[in-house]
Amino acid sequence: MLSVHVADVTYLSLSWDEVEDYVSELAERVYSVYQPNTLLAVMRGGAIVGVMLADRLGVRRVCTVNLRFYEKPEVRGVLDIYQKPPMECISNNVVLVIDDIVDTGQSLSAVMHLRALRRAKEVRSSALLVKEHSTYMPDFYIRKVEGWVFYPWEVREACEEIYSKICSINEAKKILINGLGFSQKAVEQVLGRLKVK
């Protein structure tokens, strides 16, 4: 996991290889004590991790729950669950809720308290990463972290955030490519669009 400190904020990034390793390790931890037949992925990052985890666990049923909480890194809005999982996906099933990261814990806690989940045979929660200050601890996770985490699928978000802190395209490129490990092509593409604005 790479780390940089910019304008009093610590940013961390994971590579695709690290995500693969973490998902495999999470699958082993889950499988050793729990055999879900349904995954409920928290959109958006949880969907990517959920599909990968479903493959490792051999689970064919993957449902999603959609919510909004963060407006941008470190800026929380009002928690809004705007698309709940279908009842037929949850009822009488052994469910594992999955997210990419648990920050404050409010999102995952809200999902775990959805009325639909009361119809499941059993429900447990999981995430790859958990922030040290989280008020909710999932049943399964890999690592505790401090700082804002960018996953490899969050190139635009990382570019916008780093550029907003330093307002220099060239400095942002250096941080994003050399410091956080994003690909040069992806970073230049996104920052090129920011330059036009």
Q: For the chain, what percent of residues have pLDDT higher than 70? A: 94
47: how many CB neighbours lie within 10 A of its CB? 20
Global confidence as pTM? 0.88
Q: Is the pLDDT of residue 71 over 60?
A: no
Report CA torsion sign: 25, 26, 27, 32: positive
Which pLDDT score is estimated for 81? 79
Average confidence (pLDDT) over 48-62: 96
Identify the pLDDT of residue 77.
62
- The DSSP H or E segment spanning 47 is helix 45-57
Distance between CA atoms of residues 163 and 153, nearest Å: 18
Using CA atoms, how far apart are residues 15 and 123, in angstroms rounded to an integer? 30
Q: Is 71 left (phi over 0), alpha (psi -120 to 50) or beta?
A: alpha
Report whether pLDDT(35) > 90.
yes
pLDDT band at 72 (very low <50, low <70, confident <90, very high): low
Q: Per-residue pLDDT tens for 176-197? A: 999 999 999 999 999 988 764 4
Residues 6+ apart with CB under 8 A from 107: 42, 67, 69, 79, 99
Average pLDDT value for the chain: 91
Residue 169's CB is within 10 A of a number of other CB atoms, namely 15
Please give the backbone phi and psi of residue 61, each rounded to the nearest 5 degrees, phi first. -100, 115
pLDDT tens per residue, range 105-145: 888 998 998 888 889 999 999 999 999 999 999 999 999 99
